[in-house]
A and B are shown apart, each in its own frame.
Chain A
Amino acid sequence: MFKSPVTALTSSLLLATVLLGVCITARSQTAPPADQKLNLIAAVVIDPEFCATKIKKNHETFEVGKAACDVFKAALEQGFSSVTSVATDKDGVEAQAILMPKFVDVSATKTMGAFSTRELTVLLEWTVKDKSGRTVWIETVQGSGKNHMGNGFTYKKDLKEIIQYAVQDLAHKSVIAMDASPELRKLEQRIASTR
């Protein structure tokens, strides 16, 4: 089958790479169908303080705020008819729903080997207010990501990646939770009836 041991080894390594690639499948990013989107003009409060959120845990620093600010608006656009990003809730004057995120906590497992997989869990609390400033919905969403622990050379890159995976999961689950919320659907109906 193989002409030489080198060919055999190369083929096996290639097979291993392909198998690993299949195992580490890309995270599903399926957005809710358009008819499930909330027909609400939303404003998400993304202030510099939120974007600068760094959570220190067990001698590690997780820059979750920066990762969230890179993806949240785009992710929320999958769940609402319109989303704008504002610095404070007062700036969302046109908005029918003000979305306020707040990081709760993070926790990461540790592994002994550089290539062992670790898990990062990030908790984020959403508070949604209506135009009058009354809270209509509050929910804590949990996102998680997995990646290699990394070694002295790859640790920073692997840490950045695991944060990105966890925050993308968080954003995706947030949209699903919002679209499935009876309270936000009720708000949507209330606004539709006044049009």
Chain B
Amino acid sequence: MRRIVQGVVSSCLSGMLVVLSLVPPAYAGPKFADYPQRKASECAIKADKLGLVVGIQPVEDRNDQKNYFNSDLTKKGFIPVYIVIENQSGADSFLFDKAAVKIGVGTSTGSGPNANSKSVETLQVVSALAISPLGMIIGAKLAKDEALVQTNLLKKELQSKTLSPASSTSGFLYLPVPKAGPRQPIHLMISITRSGDDEPISLDFKF
């Protein structure tokens, strides 16, 4: 009788161990809300050229940043900017190369182009390494949650893509801004090449 009881108890305990090993832990790290997909026409800033429509929506609200990225990116010196590119052409394909995106942090005086002006805007190439906060949000002490934040930032980042007719792409660019105080206007230049052409089409945005 005793051996039967022992057998049953052992079986139950082993079974529980098996079940527990298959159940994921209750605490699974921070949750990241998906940024709602929006059309270019629904964005705050938009421009179009030759059937190509680009919409831009900066995410300045820190609560939104917490919600979608689980991080106050402005405090870390970045602003997430949602970009959607739509190819509304019926026949042409367009090549969006992220390496061709340029950014200039505005020092423009608003007095128009002036070759003698000392406040000439300088455009620097936006590269993932140059501007991405992926490596910068991580300090010397790497927390488990911060690695998840980093992965989420990477997955939501806008990447190079071919836009076939009637297709679109979207994602975030993380642009540098001052950590404190009012930010200067950002000048973003997006260049996209029509497949088969050599000359890129440029769309300029200031916000």
Please give the residue numbers on chain A whose beta carbons come within 8 Å of chain B beta carbons, in ascending order.
1-5, 7-9, 11-13, 15-16, 19-20, 23, 57-59, 104-105, 107-112, 116, 119, 121, 123, 125, 134-140, 142, 181-183
From B7, B95, B134, B160, contact of A105 by CB (8 A): B134
From B7, B160, B164, contact of A183 by CB (8 A): B164
22 A-B pairs with C-beta separation under 8 A: A2-B7, A3-B7, A4-B7, A5-B7, A9-B10, A11-B11, A20-B22, A23-B22, A104-B159, A107-B150, A107-B151, A109-B148, A110-B142, A110-B144, A121-B154, A123-B159, A125-B160, A135-B95, A136-B195, A137-B162, A138-B162, A183-B162
Q: With A5-B10, A9-B10, A121-B155 given, is the CB distance from A104 to B128 under 8 Å?
A: yes
Please give the residue numbers on chain B whose beta carbons come within 8 Å of chain A beta carbons, in ascending order.
3, 6-7, 9-11, 14-15, 17-18, 21-22, 25, 29, 93, 95-98, 128, 132, 134-135, 138, 142, 144, 147-148, 150-151, 153-155, 159-162, 164-165, 193, 195-196, 198
From B17, B138, B144, contact of A12 by CB (8 A): B17
In the complex the two chains form, what is the Cα distance from A138 to B194 in whole Å? 12
| Chain A neighbourhood of B138, CB < 8 A | 58
B18 and A16 form a contact (CB under 8 A)? yes
Q: With A19-B22, A104-B128 given, is the CB distance from A57 to B162 under 8 Å?
A: no
